[in-house]
Structure 1
Amino acid sequence: MNFEIPPGLTDLLQDFTVAVLKDRPDDLIRFAAEYFNKLNTNRDDIEKSDKHRGVRFSSPANEPMQTEQEDDDDEPMPEPPPRRGERRKSVSAERYDPEADDTSSDEKIVFPKSDDQRQRLSEAVEPILLFRSLEPEQMQDVLDAMFERRVQPGIHVIDQGDDGDNFYVIDSGTYDIHVDNKLVGQYENSGSFGELALMYNMPRAATIVATSDGTLWAMDRSTFRRIVLKNAFNKRKLYEGLLECVPMLKALDPYERMNIADALLTKTYKDNEIIIRQGDGADCMYIVEDGEVRITVKNKNRPDLDEVEVKRCMKGDYFGELALVTHKPRAATAYAVGKTKCAVLDVQAFERLLGPCMDIMKRNIDEYEEQLVTVFGSAANISDLR
């Protein structure tokens, strides 16, 4: 499926990103609502007052307005931010379509590294959200494709308004973040930057200046897109197909299922490995992506009895949601049968995205308790089994 970016969306997202970097709001959703409401109000006011003067409206709230006459004047207008240069056209024209990208996965870029370098790089990329959904093999491609760059105090790693060339991960050193020549933040020995320009085909939204000797790991634009963006696209397609097979999620519209697909992460388990353990706290639910899962229960009142298998989960089946609904410990243990992959949805995303399915999941609790009564007798209930 091909998606055409609507005119003005890139500019709008960039201006909002800059506003967030400047103000660093505690409540991002409220800040976004106020920002776009104000932007819309300003536009309406300007269009009403200037509709007879030939003024063209520009989407950024902080961009100077220009008339057609002023475009031809020799007198300079107030200097706009450097990101408003002609380079924007060349960047936004280079739209990346993951579906049309037929780059072979065998065409890998490898920069040799010592064991120490590879270890440092592994530690640096571990907390980066962009890489959380990558398979181990893809993560190795990331490590292979990144190259080392050493910097000294005063070096501009990226400049606001420039085209995006590399994505950077900080190994060591301190770096100031400037937006419109104002200091808005700092990185210290950790972090990453530069992905927005590569993901959204926009000029750099900030200037990053080294304030000490340091080391960065960099990945070029094309490799970043091939590994990170194409993987994210393929992952979404895979998960959307998987979610369509989950009966509970038929209550959701396609957009809601897409949001769930973006929030899922893959975990792989070996044969007989425990996925969840009865009595443990609950922090996520699972959907079987590939393989098989057996669910067992042990009655705490009869410790002499072995665990009893109560269910098998196949591809598209889900488990682990009951403890999230009841806010109680796990009521059963889940084992992988053979090599098994599960799509995992953490508790925060579960509560945010699965509200429309909550009634269905509560009904599942009653069905589950009836199943346990069949296994353990009429006195059994979920609380008895912990």
Structure 2
Amino acid sequence: MNFEIPTGLTDLLQDFTVAVLKERPPNLKQFAADYFAKLNEQNNEEEDDDKPRGVRFGGSPNPEPMQTEDDEDSDEPMEPPTRGFTRRQSVSAERYDPADDEDLDEKVVYPKTDEQRQRLNEAVKHILLFRSLEPEQMQEVLDAMFEKKVLPDEHVIDQGDDGDNFYVIDSGKYDIFVNGNLVGNYDTNGSFGELALMYNMPRAATIVATTEGTLWAMDRQTFRRIVLKTAFNKRKMYEQLIEGVPVLKALEIYERQNVADALFSKTFEEGSCIIKQGDDADCMYFIEDGECRVTVTNKADPSGEEVEVKRYNKGGYFGELALVTHKPRAASVYAVGRVKVAVLDVQAFERLLGPCMEIMKRNIDEYEEQLVQVFGSKANVHDLR
């Protein structure tokens, strides 16, 4: 059975989660009851407002979380929690939808010296937003960023302003203020400013340089074209790939979307060993493009010769059986020509593919039957592992 997620539910739960994380209430159930009662009361009082998304603590829009090398899940800091409920400002309700954006094709290039490019490479190395980009897209990111020098006491962004650029820190120290209060700082690394660009929000914090420093900046349009639209298109491609995998038909639509979000691409050249028989299992693979061949070595055979038992083409998948059985790889897989695969690591596999486990376990018997046909006996099959 497929369930359609009601409009606004995701935003509502996101707002509630933020409130819980900020307040850390000792009694979660009571807090939830008070939260939604207050939200309902506010909605009734302000019926002329357009679709309020929820409530926030304090008087500013939802701040952008901080992102540093040590904490990759955040960008600009959350404001200090305050008691009481205040309506979120309506200016921040609109989100960017890559599907509606058709005019972001013009590439931007800022020339750089070799020294500048090397520094930029180091600065963006640990930025979570860029990790899903292909090498060509990462090259576009480096081309599109421009250097900005800052002086002590210079305001890089001001709370309440419109978002213009996304920033990556190359050097320098920076203080973070929300509603005039110092809430954190950056020291020579990190990034900030993306959520204002992603959600059409005003800046949620003020960033002030406390030393001389250097930032790398990317303008709003370029950020959306490269980072957001690329992620959107990749997710659509992965969803189509997953829909073609029979074993994943047991998943609901939203579960397949979660799997798509967890995938990342990897490319192997002709003859490369993708997985090796006997190795520990750490991920499974979906073939985006190309062909792979599967071989096994019978340990009882003194020659140690590898025998090809199967081939996979675009839309095929492999590597899941060792994750299901928690045993070493039972076969090796090699690239035939250049192969591009989508990779799902073991943590995401165990978290997301629970509904498919029984089907995958049944596939183990089919796999062993194939090996029996090659090696002639069940005993030899078990010797392979």
Q: For the residues of structure 2 that align with 1:15 and 1:258, how far apart are their CA atoms? A: 23
Q: For the residues of structure 1 that align with 2:157 and 2:274, how far apart are their CA atoms? A: 43
* Change over 3 Å in CA distance of 1:278–1:312 after alignment to 2: same
- Report what 1:202 is aligned to: 201
Any stretches of 5+ residues in structure 1 without a counterpart? 26-30, 65-79
1:44 aligns with 2:37: yes
Q: Deviations over 1:296-344 (max 9, x none)?
A: 1112332413111111111111111112222222221111111111111
1:62 aligns with 2:61: no
Q: For the residues of structure 2 that align with 1:116 and 1:368, how far apart are their CA atoms? A: 53
Question: How much does 1:17 deviate?
Answer: 5.3
- Report what 1:98 is aligned to: 98
- Report what 1:117 is aligned to: 116
Normalised by the length of structure 1, the TM-score is 0.79
Equivalent position amino acid for 1:41 in 2: D
- Tell me if the contact between 2:56 and 2:88 (Cα under 8 Å) persists in the aligned partners: no
Any stretches of 5+ residues in structure 2 without a counterpart? 1-5, 60-83
- Tell me if the contact between 2:15 and 2:55 (Cα under 8 Å) persists in the aligned partners: no
Question: How many residue pairs were aligned?
Answer: 351
- Report what 1:193 is aligned to: 192
* Change over 3 Å in CA distance of 1:359–1:40 after alignment to 2: same
Task: Indicate the SS of the match to 2:301.
Answer: coil
* Change over 3 Å in CA distance of 1:194–1:243 after alignment to 2: same
Q: Which runs of structure 2 are paired with 1:1-386 in the superposition (5 Å)?
A: 34=28, 38=31, 40-44=33-37, 55-56=45-46, 59-62=54-57, 89=91, 95-103=95-103, 105=105, 107-380=106-379, 384-386=383-385
Q: For the residues of structure 2 that align with 1:145 and 1:46, how far apart are their CA atoms? A: 42
- Tell me if the contact between 2:152 and 2:211 (Cα under 8 Å) persists in the aligned partners: yes
Q: Deviations over 1:207-256 (max 9, x none)?
A: 33333332211111100001111111111111111111000110011111
Normalised by the length of structure 2, the TM-score is 0.80
Equivalent position amino acid for 2:55 in 1: P
- Tell me if the contact between 1:248 and 1:360 (Cα under 8 Å) persists in the aligned partners: yes
Name the % identity: 63
Which piece of structure 1 moves more, 132-141 or 220-229? 132-141
Task: Indicate the SS of the match to 2:98.
Answer: coil
* Change over 3 Å in CA distance of 1:111–1:227 after alignment to 2: same
Equivalent position amino acid for 2:57 in 1: N
Question: How much does 1:206 deviate?
Answer: 2.7
Q: For the residues of structure 1 that align with 2:15 and 2:378, how far apart are their CA atoms? A: 61
- Tell me if the contact between 1:294 and 1:312 (Cα under 8 Å) persists in the aligned partners: yes
Question: How much does 1:174 deviate?
Answer: 2.7
- Tell me if the contact between 1:277 and 1:333 (Cα under 8 Å) persists in the aligned partners: yes
Q: For the residues of structure 2 that align with 1:316 and 1:366, how far apart are their CA atoms? A: 22
* Change over 3 Å in CA distance of 1:385–1:217 after alignment to 2: same
